[in-house]
Structure 1
Amino acid sequence: MDTTKALLFFLFNFLFVEYSFAQLCSDSSCRKGEPMIRFPFQLQNLQHKSCGYPGFNLSCDASNQTVLELPNSGQFTVQGIDYQMQHIWLNDPDSCLPKRLLTLNLSGSPFSGYFYQNFAFFNCAFDYTKYKLNPIGCLSGQSYTVFASSSVRAISFLESRCNLISSVAVPVQWTFAEPVATSDLSEDILLSWGTPQCGRCESRGARCGLKSNSSTDTVCSHVSRRGLPRGARYAIIAGAGVPALLFLVGFLCCLCSKVKRFTRRHLPIVDPASSAAVAPQILITTGGLDSSIIQSYPKTILGESRRLPNPNDSICSICLSEYKPKETLRSIPECQHSFHAECVDQWLRLKASCPVCRNSPDSKCTSIDIQDS
């Protein structure tokens, strides 16, 4: 019993660990409405470290917004992720993206701009309201206004009236054939990644993942409706299903053996001559007939007509079941009472008398097999 408990405890813990690991690597998010996070990204505190690729760590801030930290530029909020195109959209958590763009440095990260457009930043003190210019409000003050432009004509106009702050290559979402005069640069910036190459795998409806925890090689696995990769399902089946199956087979074999021993010792027998025939009772007796004697009694294989030596016997008096075609019956020679062969064989091994009339059978009768037509 102690061994069985130990095996059950081990099996439970093994299945729990496998299930927990699979859950940790399933798609997750910081909150409803936030981008869904999966490989190559890994959401800290919600997904296991091995669920992501190195350099793709994300986290949830105090407002449960998804955050990406660039090594040389600080934290940015994640606005969206396209796993097929391998694109990610970022913005500033303090709602002043142009300020972050002035110092943006993507070195040390796996990301780069998909489209770049050069913008010149100017600090101006003139009254801009008479011109169609769009200022950057979060960088401007009461006595000055900051503008950013990628238009050659606008830059030429501002250069003669303002101080140049900086020229920056901005990773925009798309480039303009004819840039607007000025922009507040509040729209999300678009970055992409080249490694790991999982876009093609995603486009087939599959999922990327690390081949092993000791390497950065990736593998593409098909996904079940529940979201587990096929490789993970096979690992769980092989790791947990096989031990569970072996344990179940062993347990059933042990249970069947005990049931058989119990049945042999405590087999309920119906006594038809008793007034309590419907309620089986345990008959403990010795003095039954030998198997060789029992086998010498005549047998009948019923046909469709169910014709019996004694026409009044249509029900087996031992099991109380009606005879059916193709069943094998055995008759006691002296009284011609018939019973199911299995039932009467069992009875006569325990008690050397007819279950109905209680007469002792004649052990000298020879065997006769009758095929009813």
Structure 2
Amino acid sequence: MIGGKDIIGPRHSASKFFSAAKNPFFCCVISHTATSEIPGLTVAGANPELVKYTSPADAEFLHYGYCRCIPGVPATPDGKPTPAVITKAALELAGIPFLVVDAGTKVRPDIPCVSFGVKPGGNITQENAMDVSDAKRALEYGHALGRQLARSSDLVVIGESIPGGTTTALAVLSALGIDALFKVSSSMPENPHGLKNKTVKSALERARISAAEKAPAALEAMSLVGDPMMPSVAGISAGALEAGAKVMLAGGTQMSAVLAVMKGLSIPLTDDVCIGTTIYVAKDSSADLAGLVKQVSPKVPVLACDLRLEKSSKPGLQAFARGFVKEGVGAGGSSIAAMLKTKANGKKMLAAIERVYERSIERKMASTTTAT
């Protein structure tokens, strides 16, 4: 298999996507849900007030290797970096072009990007996630963009950055009748399933969605308890597939919710669609990505890359293998695309990631410490 044993998944699927990975294109959808501001749901931000900067900071890091919307570097004080470090390394290694889509951020990134003109998502325990008109707009704009991206690439890789996204994913999966309790992943080693389940129960009750009744339509489910990322990614995927490209949904359990939405919208789920993630999500004992995907569509393969981060000399990168962060900003999917395009293995990917970490995290942290 390409990448040796470092790309895990059905052999025929890896080969099929390898044939389309000579000229991949990466698209990252950044968004916000006020659900992420519930204390304890995410570590994507030092506190609820800073969570709104996570997605724009990730996008700025992809472009510049540093952030403009926040001071300092995109890492926790003890050096645990944003997964954008992995994504940036993959894009640089393979020379993969990329585009950022603003789909409802609370703080606009200081970069050139495409805006879908939708509002940030609401706290699903208190209000609807978004207006139906915004969900429709995100689908429509995404479809148009996906068709254009497919004109320049045979493989469109779509990632996301939205703190709290696994909780809204759980809500939408549950609303659509998928058994998802205790199956979504987390950015923390100790998955806060209790808080997520409580949040989703409250949201479903507020929206008057009951497991005993008929599941709502996909558009309605997203509007009631989802987030703006979902219709945006679903639309881009639909447009790219319609135009003849293959689509890799680059992310963790959030992407199983996108798959469920696509199925509900009658978007064909064939083996031209796959989920690309890291082994840190695929092998997460507190979640079940493969099981969620199988419930939605057994035809959709899950590919996972082993980036060998446990062997890194950088404690901040080792943290991914210990259950921190695990995935985000399309880290797994972009790495798989880079490995398929360049035939790099996990060892080469690790070296590339460490170079970006040293350049963008360690040196800037050192200069900040010296300055203070």
TM-score range, shorter chain: under 0.3
**Bigger strand fraction:** 1
**More helix, by proportion:** 2
**Of the two structures, which has the highest relative contact order with CA contacts closer than 8 Å and spacing of 6 or more?**
2
Q: Structure 1-normalised TM-score?
A: 0.20
